[in-house]
Amino acid sequence: MAQRSGQEDPERYLFVDRAVVCNPATQADWTAKKLVWIPSERHGFEAASIREEHGDEVVVELAENSKKAMVNKDDIQKMNPPKFSKVEDMAELTCLNEASVLHNLKDRYYSGLIYTYSGLFCVVINPYKYLPIYSENIIEMYRGKKRHEMPPHIYAISESAYRCMLQGKSQLVMVYPSLYCNHQCHCTKYAHMFATQGNCMNDLIQSTGTRKSKPT
């Protein structure tokens, strides 16, 4: 069962402080060190700096402990600049590779940001605890907003589907559960947001081509 936290500011689980992410000092450090991603048995991938190149082999210095290692050039993956840290939509990444995608998801998750867009998809990672981001106040924050105007959330997906329904467009939403993802919970949250829309049931009936009959 999910653990319920005390009274917390829900916005810390939704918004990223871009002033911290876009720190000029961090950008300068990234540029100077020529950071890249290399394979790691423990982490999947880890950050390292390129020190020397010898044909198809490269000498790197691990960012975590300054140890040096020899890796093949084909195993190196480019790292995105710090300004893309915790990016809300991974389709915006300059270097769209496996290491960068995994790092962004992990970085956001450890910051309490469980929702991340990947183009048309919304990726959610189970926090295994209660987060204060499903209240009526949060629903009102997302109501009437376009997807790009708010942080990633199941409510943004629901609002987008509702808009499409009113415009006669496809509002198909599919949930792809993993082994550890509570997809039933998110289907419930999706339906909850949808059901709170004004005249939702009448809009839904009309969108399917059915009309209420007037009494004679």
d(CA 146, CA 141): 11
Residue 170: its pLDDT value, please? 65
Task: For residues 74 and 145, state if they share a domain.
Answer: no
Asked whether residue 72 falls in the same domain as residue 122, the answer is no
In a domain, 43, yes or no: yes
| Residue 95 forms part of a structural domain | no
What is the separation of C-alpha 156 from the centre of its chain, rounded to a whole number of angstroms? 12
Where is the domain boundary, 38, 61, 81?
81
Domain membership flag for residue 170 = yes
Q: Same domain for 131 and 72? A: no
* 141-176 exposure pattern, b = at least 16 Cβ within 10 A, e = fewer: bbbeeebeebbbbbbbbbbbbbbebeeeeebeeeee
Q: Do residues 126 and 178 share a domain?
A: yes
pLDDT, position 6: 53
- Please check whether residues 134 and 191 belong to one and the same domain: yes
User: Are the beta carbons of 142 and 150 closer than 8 angstroms?
Assistant: yes
Residues 119 and 198 in one domain: yes
Please indicate, yes or no, if residue 34 is contained in any of the structural domains.
Answer: yes
pLDDT confidence of residue 205: 46
105, β-bridge pairs:
none
Per-residue confidence in pLDDT tens, the chain, 216 aa: 444 545 789 999 999 987 777 788 888 888 888 899 999 999 999 999 999 999 999 999 999 999 999 999 999 999 999 999 999 999 999 999 999 999 999 999 999 999 999 999 999 999 999 999 999 999 999 999 999 999 999 999 988 888 877 777 766 666 666 645 555 566 677 666 666 665 555 555 454 444 444 444
Q: Do the domain assignments include residue 146?
A: yes
Please tell me the distance from the alpha carbon of residue 15 to that of residue 10, in angstroms, as a whole number.
Answer: 9
Residue 88 is assigned to a structural domain of this protein: no
Domain-ending residue, one of 62, 81, 100: 81
Range of the domain at 63: 21-81
Q: How many CB atoms lie within 10 A of CB 10?
A: 16
pLDDT at 131: 94
Backbone phi, psi, residue 175, to 5°: -105, 120
Domain count, the chain: 2
Instruction: Give the CATH number for residue 57.
Output: 2.30.30.360
Domain match, 65 and 116 both: no
Contacts of 112 (CB under 8 A, 6+ apart): 12, 13, 127, 131
- Contact call for residues 152 and 117 (beta carbons, < 8 A): yes
On whether residue 105 sits in a domain, the answer given is no
Same domain, 133 and 200: yes
Say what the pLDDT of residue 161 is: 81
Question: In 3-state terms, what secondary structure has residue 15?
Answer: coil
| 103: in domain | no
> Which residue(s) pair with 54 in the sheet?
57
**CB-based burial, 65-96: b 16+ in 10 Å, e otherwise:** eeeeeebeeeebbebbebebbbbbbbeebeee
